[in-house]
Structure 1
Amino acid sequence: MSIKKLKAVIVIASTFVGLGMSGCEPAGSQQKGYFVSPQGSDDNPGTIKQPFKTIQKCADTVQPGFTCWMREGVYREQVRPQISGTESKPITFAAYKEEQVTISGTELVTDWSKDRDAIYRAKISLPVDGYSDTGFFANQIFVGGKMMPEARFPNLSPEQDFLRPNLLGGGVTSLGGTAAKIENEAVPELTEGWKGGQVWANEWYTTRTGEITGGTAKQLLAKMTAAWDRGAYWFYLFGKQELLDDRGEWFYDGGKQELYFWSLDAQTPQNIEVKQRNFAFDLSDRSYITVRNLNLFANTITTSDRSSGVVIDGVRAKYVSHHMTLPPPAKPEKAYEADDAMFLAAHAQDTGIQLRGNNHVLQNSVIDWSAGNGVLLEGNNHQVTNNIIVNTNYQANYAASVRVNGNGHQISHNTIKRTGRDAINFDWHTAGTDGRNLEISYNDISEFGMLSTDLGAIYICCQVNLEGGSIHHNWIHDAQSFSPFWGTRGIYLDLETFNSTVHHNVVWNLNGSDHNLGITAGSPRGYDRVFNNTFLGKVLLDGENIEARNNIFANVESIGAKNASNNLFIDTDAKFTRLPQAEAKSSTTPDFTLQKDSPAIDLGIEIPKITADFTGKAPDLGAYEYNSPAWKAGSSLKYDFESNY
């Protein structure tokens, strides 16, 4: 990797350029707000000619109905407004006009000395000494705006893709309780010994971490963060200085307060930043705050149960949350029905853009890279609309690109790509079983399941009541199956989730396993209604309470629903306009609209609120009505996905 020796201000700002979003200045803004600039002073009055220096100074000064206008530059601070806005007069924090403003959670590291070979060291106090996982979860290091891997075995990968790491097989075997044995012939002997190191273990549909307690090469002993008797299949090791053996890796010695880094070009490191703050904005107990057209780097935004009316609009957030270990959270009161496997939800309740409370909005934004969630929804009636959420959950547990707790949320018109497990997850361990009035619609979801199995692009579990909501008009495609074991699902209503309405979705290219299913549904607790979908692959619809009508399915054998009619199976050519290519990343976009001679035309039945806009003699089958405007899923924002892997 070649890293240009640019000033850190330019490096961070350039990370966010070209996302197709721009700031705006309302009429009379200079009379209705204050200005902030890195070249200002907090002794200034906050005018455009004499701006404040810190955003916090403006946050301490601003009143409802006013705006903190930020001039271009990098602000290394955490902001907490002194007061809330009101519903009619919110407080706004925004970039001035089209200027690039970044709030960074990092600080620069500049005082390097050579340790040995291409390894350099710097004296610095980082937030985490070891792996305590309290408050600040893990140290994080960046070069030129890109996250570098903590020293590990085996090394990450030449591409340094945290969602496609190198792993060892052979596995982690339970010895009872939290005790475990780690075995692989490739595990080397360390002169310092392995005790005190860490293990990350991929275990069927989740992961665990643990501390190594003893053993020697090829066979180690560990104490895991939680008991689990189902075994692990792949793992990596970290947390020992002797593993620092590759370009771009780092290790932090908390006792000596020294950071070691293997230089990318064998020269003195340049443009090195370390994470020092979790939040760009702490909006706990604050309401009616708007954050608009800002870049966030190595930090996130948090709210609380007492927050309401927060709007996050046009934000570009990169590396929002990072952690290396997975301790089980306490079970919340509302999740009393859930089992005790709380480690499944480690950091699923405290990572990503965190929207707690009521009536928040996240829109027109990009969230790129998170060890856990991209966005967390807790409370009621939030809107997540027209966003790009990419590269999430590289710790691969029940966190998700969009993690859902509560009810009444709308998740629509988002593009969600590349996630370790589920794209959208509602899980009873923290959410309980009340999932009423959720709308999940017009999302383009792809490349999910990159580090796990037995999962769904949309995964809802267990015994969750979905009454009053619907899952509709989503594209779900091109799963990146980590393992053929148990496969992936498009829409996975697991373990007696019930009262669902699923209509007008298209699911295709769930490749990699015979266990892959376009949808899994069926519960004795209530109804499941599956109407006007197009599934190119197997499905599992089985039970007395499933109603399946007007769908296009792959084959008749996959339908066990007792109430099924007016469905078409693809052993009869459905005459789609353009079928998907075999390659998961084909540049050709499939078109599932119907040709004029399709046997699916006029073969359906009328279903109230589902087929109201049909043309012709009767509704058509599948997700598209012939000779009607073709709906599209996903965000309207433009983003260069390839350059951000």
Structure 2
Amino acid sequence: MHHLVKTIKNLSSTQVFREYDGTNFQPFQHKCTPSYGFTGDRMNKFRILLFATGILISFSISASDRSHNPHGYLLSSSPLDAANITLEYFVAPTGSDNNPGTLEQPFQTVQKCANVAQPGDSCLLRAGIYRETVRPANSGTSSTTPITFAAYNKEDVTISGANPVEGWQVFRGSIFRANASLPTNRYNDTGFFANQVFVNGEMMPEARWPNTGRDPLRPKLAGGGVKSQGGNAAIVENAEIPNLAEGWAGATVWTNDWYVTRTGTITGGTAGKLTAQMTAPWDRGGYWFYLVGKLGLLDSEGEWFYDGSDRTLYLWTLGGTNPNSVEVKQRNFAFDLGDRSYIVLRNLKLFASTVTTSDASQGIVMDGIRAKYVSHHMTLPPLPKSEQAPNSDDGLIVASHAHDTGIQLRGSKHTLKNSIVEWSSGNGVLLEGTGHRVTNNIIANSNYMASYAAPIRINGTGHRITYNTIEAAGRDAISFDWHTAGFDGNKIDIAYNDISRFGMLSTDLGAIYICCYVNLAGGAIHHNWIRDTQAFSPFWGTRGIYLDIESYNSTIHHNVVWNITGGKDSFYLVAGSPRGYNRIFNNTFLGSIYTDNTVEARNNIFRSSTSITASQQSHNLFQSTDPKFTKTTTTDSKSLPDFTLQSGSPAIDAGMAITGVTDGFVGSAPDIGAYERDAKVWKAGSRVQR
């Protein structure tokens, strides 16, 4: 048997707890005769731990060690348990899973390392693309003995859910075709939701009408409407709908219905008017819509269509040239961490795939992740009853795929930090369970299907969401929705986030949206920038901080909200509930707000309000008084307005002290508004660089 440990000398009555037999590390007992020295196979930073008469002895063998001392070095001895054995394995695309996993002889797949890694071990990945779903065989045992998967020396490492497609031939004109086995013929409600095609790492649009660009958050939509005919039945009308020789039956329609986005299957019809069955009953209708999923719609550059009956992928190539660098999504997950705990993922790229956990998972850490195209779906089925909170709506459609998309952190005490998550049909990050931390991340281009998913979707309690830059979302940016989360939103801290360009495909929403009847006791929404968004529809509005339908017990302080434009009934704040008070302190609102008599409002700047409704209010500054901001406008797209106070502002020292809110104020009294003159100026958003 080949062993990494060949000879152990100078030890008597020694028990070695792990050895490598060419396939796995196994417990074994090895008696050593007393003599001097240690020899072993070369392995960079490889530690061999021995238990001798109650003393743990750690040897380190590496190439550099051997050049100085062929017998190795004794690093430490301490009375530790043998479970503290930790090893480093190496993985490279050029390796082999028959190798021992050393730097010189690495494994080839991450899964091979995941099969053998024990608590405290590390899998160090060399540069390259790994097309696999990794499922660790074991968990770590604590935050100090995790199993780590990391890029070796920060090399460029990608775990990809996509595979290349080759063998292209001309079909007609600029359309090419290739034989390809994609995971689904059309769309699925569970499992693998929808096919996804990439060219040069960019998602291409499925063949559709009307034609659109390649940004799904800025689609070209048709007007005219999708109208309910009772139950699930609908008609789709627009005079410009073309006739298709193959017929429209089987195509998919997407439409926006007020705050609800819906999809359905076309059942018949011809040019100008189609019939459809929607995925859930409805009694209204949608105005904007598009149609997708027929070969006859493949008529513009970048579009594709997949015919599952003969496994043929069609693509109108970019520039009309022979396709290259084409990939298709084949796997949902880069890492499946269901029922796994204390796993660290560090400095890895994820492409066309995501990470999932389960209710039993604990202590997962994702640090320095670059995740792109994390989830993709094209239909909006009703939320399964098993995922609905008690007393939720039957046949629920608004929260479709809000429970199974994005980076999925279920369980307790997970952390996502220093990362970029971008492009998802649903969530950017899903928080379910208790005590998760999402800090210092960029989360962009989420929820292009415009359901109640969000860049950060919250279920559970005790979460901290801090110092994130959240930009470009189909609906809300941060969402707590009772349909799946229930009514307990205790001890949630939403702070120092920079939120912009939300509500790009829906209405009646908020940058921070809490709905409905949710108890927010013990947490706070504070020190956030909410800014720069244009309402999607002229028929309804967009909100900044939106506590919908009697959500209560919130504390909202030191937020700045500006430049929310367009639409009808747009408000920078909506709050009020007969169930309990909402406390509004030291905010700066540049637009109008909506509150009721269950609100306590103090130390706020209401720049566009002459008065507010609140049973308890004092020390507020209204429209008639100029607060003398430092800089309210900017012509440079890379700079932001400055809503700190100039010297001589009437807001300086004009507020009242509020414990836990104005602590540490400068001067004779706290200032009114979100910034304290002559104190350190707080900033929101991530420090991560793209």
* TM-score of the alignment, normalized to the shorter chain, above 0.5: yes
Q: Does 1:135 align with 2:181?
A: no
Instruction: State TM-score, norm by structure 2.
Output: 0.87
> Which of 174, 178, 195 is the equivalent residue of 1:118?
174
> Which of 650, 657, 665 is the equivalent residue of 1:614?
665
**Contact in 2 for aligned 1:501/1:530 (Cα 8 Å):** yes
Residue 243 of structure 1 deviates from its aligned partner by 0.2
Q: Which runs of 5+ in 1 are unaligned?
A: 1-24, 640-645
Q: 1:552-571, aligned counterparts within 5 Å?
A: 552-557=605-610, 559-571=612-624
Instruction: Give the whole-Å Cα distance in 2 for the aligned partners of 1:341 and 1:631.
Output: 44
Instruction: Give the whole-Å Cα distance in 2 for the aligned partners of 1:41 and 1:327.
Output: 43
Aligned-partner residue type, residue 186 of structure 2: G
Instruction: Give the whole-Å Cα distance in 1 for the aligned partners of 2:611 and 2:261.
Output: 31
Residue 596 of structure 1 deviates from its aligned partner by 1.1
Q: Does 1:534 align with 2:588?
A: yes
> Which of 621, 640, 656 is the equivalent residue of 1:605?
656
Match of 1:50? 105
Aligned-partner residue type, residue 514 of structure 2: I
**Contact in 2 for aligned 1:198/1:238 (Cα 8 Å):** yes
> Which of 473, 481, 484 is the equivalent residue of 2:535?
481
Alignment CA distance shift 1:192-1:105 (3 Å):
same
Match of 2:674? 623
Match of 1:151? 207
Match of 2:603? 550
Aligned-partner residue type, residue 78 of structure 1: T
Aligned-partner residue type, residue 289 of structure 1: I
Which digits, 9 at most, give the CA deviation of each residue in 1:479-500, with x for residues without a partner? 1321122211110000000110
Which digits, 9 at most, give the CA deviation of each residue in 1:368-424, with x for residues without a partner? 100000000000000000000000000011000000000100000000000100000
Match of 1:249? 303
Aligned-partner residue type, residue 89 of structure 1: T
Match of 2:162? 106
Aligned-partner residue type, residue 569 of structure 1: F
Match of 2:236? 182
Match of 1:578? 631
Which digits, 9 at most, give the CA deviation of each residue in 1:540-595, with x for residues without a partner? 1112x2100000002444511121111001331111111134x7x83331111111
Greater RCO between the two (CA within 8 Å, min separation 6)?
1
**Contact in 2 for aligned 1:580/1:588 (Cα 8 Å):** no
Match of 2:127? 72
Instruction: Give the whole-Å Cα distance in 2 for the aligned partners of 1:271 and 1:265.
Output: 14
Secondary structure at the counterpart of residue 129 of structure 1: coil
Aligned-partner residue type, residue 106 of structure 2: P
**Contact in 1 for aligned 2:442/2:470 (Cα 8 Å):** yes
Instruction: Give the whole-Å Cα distance in 2 for the aligned partners of 1:416 and 1:341.
Output: 30
Secondary structure at the counterpart of residue 669 of structure 2: coil
Instruction: State TM-score, norm by structure 1.
Output: 0.93
Instruction: Give the whole-Å Cα distance in 1 for the aligned partners of 2:411 and 2:331.
Output: 23
Residue 114 of structure 1 deviates from its aligned partner by 1.0
Instruction: Give the whole-Å Cα distance in 2 for the aligned partners of 1:225 and 1:214.
Output: 16
Which digits, 9 at most, give the CA deviation of each residue in 1:154-205, with x for residues without a partner? 0122xx2110100000111100111111100010111111111110011111
**Contact in 2 for aligned 1:106/1:276 (Cα 8 Å):** yes
Alignment CA distance shift 1:579-1:233 (3 Å):
same
Moved over 6 A (4+): 25-31
**Contact in 2 for aligned 1:490/1:517 (Cα 8 Å):** yes
**Contact in 2 for aligned 1:331/1:429 (Cα 8 Å):** no
Match of 2:415? 361
Q: 1:250-269, aligned counterparts within 5 Å?
A: 250-269=304-323
Secondary structure at the counterpart of residue 323 of structure 1: coil
Residue 334 of structure 1 deviates from its aligned partner by 6.7
Residue 229 of structure 1 deviates from its aligned partner by 1.4
Identity of aligned residues (%): 62
Q: 1:493-532, aligned counterparts within 5 Å?
A: 493-532=547-586
Secondary structure at the counterpart of residue 170 of structure 2: strand
* Range with bigger deviation, 260-269 or 374-383: 260-269
Which digits, 9 at most, give the CA deviation of each residue in 1:91-118, with x for residues without a partner? 0000000210001101000111111111
Instruction: Give the whole-Å Cα distance in 2 for the aligned partners of 1:466 and 1:48.
Output: 51
Instruction: Give the whole-Å Cα distance in 2 for the aligned partners of 1:245 and 1:491.
Output: 42
Between structure 1 and structure 2, the one with the greater Rg is: 2
Residue 331 of structure 1 deviates from its aligned partner by 3.2
**Contact in 2 for aligned 1:605/1:618 (Cα 8 Å):** yes
Aligned-partner residue type, residue 624 of structure 2: D
Match of 1:6? none
Alignment CA distance shift 1:228-1:170 (3 Å):
same
Instruction: Give the whole-Å Cα distance in 1 for the aligned partners of 2:483 and 2:611.
Output: 30
* Range with bigger deviation, 63-72 or 330-339: 330-339
Match of 1:40? 95
Match of 1:279? 333
**Contact in 1 for aligned 2:253/2:290 (Cα 8 Å):** yes
Instruction: Give the whole-Å Cα distance in 1 for the aligned partners of 2:684 and 2:414.
Output: 22
Match of 2:153? 97
Instruction: Give the whole-Å Cα distance in 2 for the aligned partners of 1:534 and 1:230.
Output: 37
Instruction: Give the whole-Å Cα distance in 2 for the aligned partners of 1:134 and 1:636.
Output: 36
Q: 1:424-463, aligned counterparts within 5 Å?
A: 424-463=478-517
Aligned-partner residue type, residue 35 of structure 1: F
